[in-house]
Amino acid sequence: MPAEILLIDDEAPLRRLLGTTLAEAGYRVRTAATGSAGLQELAQAKPDAIILDMGLPDLPGLEVLREIRAQSDLPVLILSVFGQEGSKVAGLDAGADDYLIKPFGNHELLARLRVLLRRKLSPREEPLVRFGDIEVDVVRRKVTRGGHPVKLTALEYGLLQLFLRHRDMALTHRQILRELWGPKAEDRTHYLRIYVMRLRRKLEGEGGGFSHFQAESGIGYRFVTEP
């Protein structure tokens, strides 16, 4: 059965456009124009993922997101107007899985949605992960580059594992710092810059070009396996 998407957005033209785009891509679609209506739909139906606009007329998007998280762990893709950097970060910290900035392309929306649905269907950690010339044996905790062993510290390996578990998804500085260093380190972004730089050097070298560890300006990092 096709996956069902719950779209919560107050802009009628955008709801129609996205509804058509999703339907043509093979998804079943439910829509809601307000946060309260979206929560009612969530209570009555069982969607596979939610697309949530952060600027709703009746309830703050963050309040809707927190209520969604209180009810389920469904993948949530938030929509944010360009320039609302704070709302993107707050949304990700509150439990959203990814974000898109309006305006956005349909292909990008569908690609982000596919990533979220793959994670929902395949939540287990893969025993062996490959990207570029890097191979990570999760079971043995061994990393090789071009067939040669790469020595990582415990924190470097922990950061790499976190990226692998959330590949192709945005992680905020606060999420990463809280996970690896604890809640008291949430504002110490210099820690994170240092360790991301170390991973880049050890796994990608000094040649520049495409990096699997991509900075999301003002937000955090996104680990991608392919250009």
Q: How far apart are CA 186 and CA 173, in angstroms?
A: 7
Q: Which one of 121, 147, 163 terminates a domain?
A: 121
pLDDT band (50, 70, 90) for residue 226: confident
Residue 26 pLDDT greater than 90, yes or no: yes
Higher pLDDT, 226 or 146: 146
Residues 169 and 86 in one domain: no
Mean pLDDT (whole number) for 100-120: 89
Residue 122 pLDDT greater than 60, yes or no: no
**How much is the pLDDT for 1?**
79
Tell me the HSE value of 4 on the side-chain side, using a 13 A CA sphere: 9
Residues 159 and 175 in one domain: yes
Residues 188 and 115 in one domain: no
Residues 160 and 133 in one domain: yes
Look up the CATH number of the domain holding residue 182.
1.10.10.10
Residues 116 and 13 in one domain: yes
Residue 25 pLDDT greater than 60, yes or no: yes
Residues 110 and 145 in one domain: no
143-175 burial string, b = 16+ CB within 10 Å, else e?
A: beeeeeebebeeebbbbbbbbbbbbbbbbbbbb
Q: How far apart are CA 172 and CA 183, in angstroms?
A: 13
Residues 113 and 183 in one domain: no
Q: How far apart are CA 155 and CA 173, in angstroms?
A: 15
Cα 147 to chain center, whole Å?
30
- The pairing of strands 220-223 and 170-172 is antiparallel
* Lookup: tokens for 75: 């993948």
Q: Are 136 and 143 in contact (CB under 8 A)?
A: yes
Residues 114 and 138 in one domain: no
- pTM for this entry: 0.82
Q: What is the pLDDT of residues 192-203, one digit of tens each?
A: 999 999 999 999
The continuous run of DSSP H or E covering 130 comes out as: strand 128-131
Residues 12 and 29 in one domain: yes
> Mean pLDDT: which of 23-37, 84-98, 124-138 is highest?
23-37
Q: Which one of 58, 91, 121 terminates a domain?
A: 121
Total domains in the chain come to 2
Q: Which one of 90, 121, 152 terminates a domain?
A: 121
Residues 57 and 73 in one domain: yes
Output the CA–CA distances (angstroms, integers) from residue 6 to 60, 76, 187, in the order listed.
17, 10, 34
Domain containing 55 equals: 4-121
Q: Are 204 and 212 in contact (CB under 8 A)?
A: yes
Peptide bond into 2 cis (omega under 30): no
**How much is the pLDDT for 82?**
60
Residues 21 and 103 in one domain: yes
Look up the CATH number of the domain holding residue 11.
3.40.50.2300
pLDDT band (50, 70, 90) for residue 85: low
Percentage of the chain modeled with pLDDT above 90 = 64
Choose among 62, 56, 51, 13: nearest CA to 29. Answer: 51
Residues 138 and 35 in one domain: no
pLDDT band (50, 70, 90) for residue 208: low
